[in-house]
Structures are given as C-alpha cells and as structure tokens.
C-alpha cells in the first residue's frame, strides 16, 4: 500500500511574508527564476489584485506557464529586461526585484532599481530578494556562494532615489531588503 505524504509548508512562505502584499495590490516581480513564488503572491493579492512577472529570459514563459498550471493562480508574464520595463510610471503598489542584482555590475543594478522606482506608485514599496548566506546544514556541506551584502543593496536603492531602506531579514538562505519610493508632492 502506498503511503501518501502530506505536503509541508511552502518554501516561499518567508518570501511572500517579506513582500507584504495585500489583497487588491498590484505587484510586479522582476525575474521569473522562481515562478512558483509569483503564483503564491497571486494567491495573496486575489482576484482584485494583479501579479505580473517581467523577464526576458528565453525560458521565462515556460516557467510561468508551468507554475500557473500547477497552482491555478493568475500571473501574467511580460517579456522585458529588468532595465527597460514596459509599464507606466506609478503602476504598481509593490515591485519585487527577485535575484537580479547578484550577477549584475553596479551600473546595471542602479538601472534596475531606477526602473523599479519609476513604475512603483508614489510611496510604494520595493523589495529586493537576493541570495543570502547559507544556513544550517547547507552551510556545512555546500560550496561558498557569492552573496551581496545588505548594505550594498541598500546603497544601490538609495542612490537610485529611494527615500528609505531597511534590511527586513537574512533567513533561509536569502536576504530581504525593503525600500520606499518618494511620496508625490
């Protein structure tokens, strides 16, 4: 007889909590590398909200399609580079930059942050998720990985024009940094 194992908590629970999206929010995730994360955000924003993913990677559409099919959530993909997002200024409540800073040179990080600020509504939030230090058993048995220091992420966001930044957490192998855009005058 086959034993059915109960599915445990979502591996995206921490990331979804750090984003802090609410029902009805418009959220853009820049980076399709973790499509299931976007579908879990869509479950939070509900039918009155919207979750979109922007990525120009060749396999982005397939990743989003597979995640949407599995979860049943509504997520749309816009094939666009992180440095040239095809959205109107102020279009989103929250912009999540998901692991796009890590391998990018400083100038590109600044352009990515600038685009996020442009499309976030005045007083909106930007959340950067990057690979963080390995923890627990993983730290003992894995190769060292390149990690961006949280203060570097904060500096990029501030230099791009955010009015306030803070480190939300370094947990579960990820670093979460939040920034607020300027309020309109």
Residue 13 in any domain: the answer is: no
Residue 30, pLDDT score: 98
Q: Are residues 62 and 99 in the same domain?
A: no
185 and 140 within one domain: yes
Choice among 36-40, 93-97, 169-173 with the minimum mean pLDDT: 169-173
Q: How many domains does the chain have?
A: 2
Q: Beta-carbon neighbour count of residue 4 at 10 Å?
A: 6
Q: Are residues 115 and 36 in the same domain?
A: no
In a domain, 6, yes or no: no
Q: Which residue has the tokens 């998901």?
A: 98
**Based on the domain organization, do 131 and 177 belong to the same domain?**
yes
- On whether residue 3 sits in a domain, the answer given is no
Instruction: Kindly report, residue by residue over 158-177, the tens digit of the pLDDT.
Output: 999 999 999 999 988 899 99
Give 9's pLDDT tier (boundaries 50, 70, 90).
low
Range of the domain at 164: 94-185
**How large is the average pLDDT for residues 107-123?**
97
Q: Are residues 99 and 185 in the same domain?
A: yes
98 and 156 share one domain: yes
Indicate if 115 and 175 belong to the same structural domain: yes
Same domain, 67 and 102: no
Pairing of strands 26-30, 92-98: parallel
Residue 150 lies in a domain: yes
pLDDT at 137: 66
- pLDDT given for residue 142 in this prediction: 66
């Amino acid at each position: 007889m086959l034993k059915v194992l109960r599915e445990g908590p979502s591996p995206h629970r921490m990331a979804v909590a750090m984003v802090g999206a609410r029902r009805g929010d418009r959220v853009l995730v820049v980076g399709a590398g973790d499509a299931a994360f976007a579908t879990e955000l869509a479950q939070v924003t509900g039918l009155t909200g919207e979750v979109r993913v922007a990525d120009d990677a060749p396999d982005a559409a397939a990743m989003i399609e597979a995640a949407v099919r599995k979860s049943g959530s509504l997520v749309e993909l816009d094939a666009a580079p992180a440095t040239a997002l095809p959205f109107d200024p102020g279009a989103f409540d929250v912009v999540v930059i998901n692991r796009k800073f890590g391998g990018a040179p400083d100038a590109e990080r600044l352009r990515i942050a600038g685009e996020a600020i442009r499309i976030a509504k005045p007083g909106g939030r930007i959340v950067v998720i990057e690979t963080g230090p390995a923890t627990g058993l993983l730290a003992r048995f894995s190769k060292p990985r390149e990690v961006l220091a949280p203060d570097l992420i904060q500096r990029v966001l501030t230099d791009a024009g955010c009015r306030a930044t803070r480190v939300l957490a370094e947990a579960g192998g990820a670093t979460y940094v939040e920034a607020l855009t300027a309020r309109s005058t």
